[in-house]
Amino acid sequence: MQNKGQKITYTTVSIDKETGNLVEKICKRYSLKKSEVVKLAFQYIDKANINSAESPESVKSELSKINKRQDDIIRFIRNYEEKELNPMIRATNSIAVRFDSVAKTLETLIISLLEKNLNTYNTVLQRISDQIKQHADVINNQGKQIGSLQQTQKKDNAKLLKLISLYADLAACGVMDGKRKENLKAEIANLINEP
């Protein structure tokens, strides 16, 4: 806004009748004065860096430029995905498969050792129970603890396998699987925080 004390100097510009009609039309449409319409138009041309001597480009050619740029970006993403992301995903998947195989082998070994140890403990406990009747309660408590440890170990092993499987699924997700990645991350967090 101009101060009321400032003196404004006005100049005139001659325009043809057709341009005058266009200015009148814009004035009526937006409830502006002719001087305001001219001032706003020149401010827009200056701000947008438009060369008024050049003919304006068609909407079709502008859309064509935008579509070409969009196609270039899509090509770049696909090329990057093919050259960079897919080999990483394949390598990660290969590692996850090997890790899963090792984890299953370890689980089998641990379970067999636990069962072997449990059988050994049961035999020893039975002999002790037969020989010393007054210590039967203590021996039974030890057997229950071993069973509880085995159940806890089985539960932890199952949780570990589920966690490995979720990490493998997460590693196998593509660039565009954002929603699936978030769901897998949430599921992994829930599994880790589970008591």
Q: Read off the pLDDT of each residue in 18-35 and give the average, rounded to a whole number.
A: 91
Q: What is the mean pLDDT of the chain?
A: 80
The pLDDT of residue 146: 81
Residue appearing with tokens 């304006």: 56
CA atoms of 75 and 81, how far apart (whole Å): 10
Please count the CA atoms within 13 angstroms of the CA of 56 that sit on its side-chain side.
7
- Cite the DSSP H helix spans in 81-134: 86-131
Claim: this prediction has a pTM higher than 0.85: no
* Tokens coding 96: 């996850």
Query: Which of the residue ranges 78-82, 122-126, 134-138, 185-189 has the most confident prediction, judged by mean pLDDT?
Result: 78-82
Q: Read off the pLDDT of each residue in 30-47 and give the average, rounded to a whole number.
A: 89
The pLDDT of residue 138: 63
Q: Read off the pLDDT of each residue in 124-143 and give the average, rounded to a whole number.
A: 69
Query: Residue ranges of the domains in the chain?
Result: 17-47, 71-193
Q: Read off the pLDDT of each residue in 68-92 and give the average, rounded to a whole number.
A: 87
* Tokens coding 81: 């995905």
